[in-house]
Structures are given as structure tokens and as C-alpha cells.
A = this chain, B = another copy of it.
Amino acid sequence: MKQLDMFGLLKKDMQYIEEQLYASIEGDHEELGETSLHLLKAGGKRLRPVFVLLGGKFGQYDLNKLAHVAIPLELIHSASLVHDDVIDNAETRRGQLTVKSKWDNRVAMYTGDYLYAKALMMATKLKNPQIHQILSKAMVQMSIGEMEQIRDFFNTEQSVRNYLLRIRRKTALLIAISCQLGAIAADAEPRVCNLLYRYGYNVGMAFQIRDDLLDLRGTEKQLGKPPGSDMRQGNITLPVIYALQDPKMRGSVLAEISRIRSMKGEADVSQAVALVVSSPGIQKAEELADRYIAKALKALDLLPDQKVKKNLRDIAHFVTRRTY
């Protein structure tokens, strides 16, 4: 799934989506077009559009209709990233300069506003109020998740439950509705749409847990940014919460976090990363991710037989092994 390679089935359609994605932000405003294109070209796996198309295979697959859901979802995802970068003060993302660093924070804020609005505008071309409602509800939840995240920075008292709620809003929900909306746009049965939501939700949870693990264990080359950035900015992820729960490690992890906090984003985090990596938190987080994958596969089993079930299964397995 480095880009779309594993989706021979979707290759042509994903190329169309990619072209339409670029086209969607052209012609409104020169500079917003540039900033948006910069953001979109930085890439990403286009996971949300892929899920939309796969969801669409469970109904009357109509690429043009599906594009009007797939592109908004990718735009919403991108808008949330560009606002995230302002908050995280991130200079690079996926190895590329961020909008806030190539331009500035104000430009990044308005680029996000533009993309959110553009996403909805595109979705409203499908005259299906249910789709509009699902999208805007998810955006509300995402903004709540963002707020929770900045409130939980450096909060060493947060629970696993806290963390799960946060990644649910931040990541899992948008992936869940990607699968669901693909099916809805293809007029699939409600039961199928709900199962796809459940599949996507669980894959999304596992995906974010993996992402947080990768930030601790990946190399700078794999990540496109230095490892340990979550710890540096105070984002307390699942392995860290587990490490804090371990009586033998708690003291030293707390000391590291407090030192990192005092350095205001400039800390060398290699020792802190090594500490967490040596803790039981890694394995516990991996196990939880695996449990979410198992739930995703169970939802998949209940779906009607379709060739794409294999693709969805492959993605779930990919998520459990991914290194980028």
C-alpha cells in the first residue's frame, strides 16, 4: 500500500480521484490553490478515498458519485493536518515543509478553513442530506478531538480511556465514515453501511495506535520527521500511558516528560523514547491494536461476499504490520 500499489483493482479509479482532488482546489484563488496543492502533493496514502471506493463496491459502484464523497474526505483530512501543524508548530510533515513553515500560521489557518468549506461544498453536489449530515457531524467530533488533544498535552494522569476517546475523534471516526459513506453513496443496504462503519472504526483505532507506536520506533527516514515528536510536543500516547502505569518505570518516565516539557519543544527525546521502547507499554499497545484489527475482521466476516472483502482484509493486515 505504498500509495495505491496493492489496489490493482482500483488503480485507474484512484488515478481519477487523484486528478479530481487536484482539480477541486483549482481556480478559486491563486494562493489558496498553491497552499492547498502543496499540502495535497505532500501525499499521504489516500487511505480515506480508498475506503470510499471499496465501500462503494458493496452497492451500485458509480465513480463520479463516489468521488464526491472521497475527495471531501481527503480534503477534510488535509484541513485537519494543516491546522494541526499550526498547533504543533511543525516545520515538516512527511519530509516536506508544512504550509505554516513555507508560508505562515495565518495562511495555514485560512487554508484549513478553505479546505473544510470546499469539502462540504463538493459533497453538497450530491443531493443526499444524510451524507451532508454524517460529514458535518464528523467534523464537529474532530474539532472536539483536536481541542482535547491540546488540553491533554503533558497530562501524565490521563487514562487509557481518555486516549482511546481522543483517537476515536481524531482518526477512527473519519475512517469509519469513509467506508460507510462509500456504501451510502452507492445505495448499499443500511446493514452493510453499518458493518462497513464498524470495520472502518476498528481499523482506524488500530491505525492510530500503530501510528503512535511508529513515532517511537520508526526511523527518521521511515517517518519523514524525527522520531519521538509526539513526546517532544507533549502528546502522551498509549505506550507512554502504559509505561506510566508500570510501577518500576513510572518515576523515570515522569522525570523525562517533565524535563521535555521544560525544554518547550527543543528537547532531545532519544532517552525518553528508549525508555518507553524498553517498557512493557509497547507490547501492550500492540496487543490492543491487534484486538481492534480482530474486531474489524469480524465485522468484515458479516459483510456479504464481494471480491473487495479481500482488499479490506489486506488493509487490516497491512495496518498491523506497517512501518510507514
Contacts and interface: CB of A to CB of B under 8 A. Distances in A.
A23 interface: no
Interface string A86-124: 110000000000000000011101101110111011011
Which residue of A86, A107, A120, A150 has the most chain B CB atoms within 10 A of its CB atom?
A120
A150 B117 CA distance: 19
Q: How many copies are assembled?
A: 2
Given A144-B28, A147-B110, A150-B107, A133 B125 contact: yes
Contacts of A83: 109-110, 113
Interface in A122-138: 123-129, 132-133, 136-137
Nearest to A149: B110
Contact of A129 (B116, B127, B146): B127
A151 interface: yes
A134 to B, nearest CB: 9
A150 B103 CA distance: 12
A139 interface: yes
A121 B143 contact: no
Given A107-B147, A109-B83, A110-B150, A117 B129 contact: no
A147 B114 contact: yes
Contact of A146 (B28, B113, B143): B113
Contacts of A140: 28, 114, 117-118, 121
A136 B121 contact: yes
Contact of A151 (B31, B120, B137): B31
Interface string A17-46: 000000000001101100000000000000
A272 to B, nearest CB: 23
A117 B132 contact: no
A117 B142 contact: yes
A112 B110 contact: no
A105 to B, nearest CB: 8
A122 to B, nearest CB: 8
Given A113-B116, A116-B117, A106 B139 contact: no
Pairs of residues from A and B, 5 with the lowest C-beta to C-beta distance, nearest first:
A117-B139, A120-B136, A124-B133, A127-B129, A114-B143
8 contacts: A28-B144, A29-B144, A83-B109, A83-B113, A120-B136, A124-B129, A129-B129, A129-B132
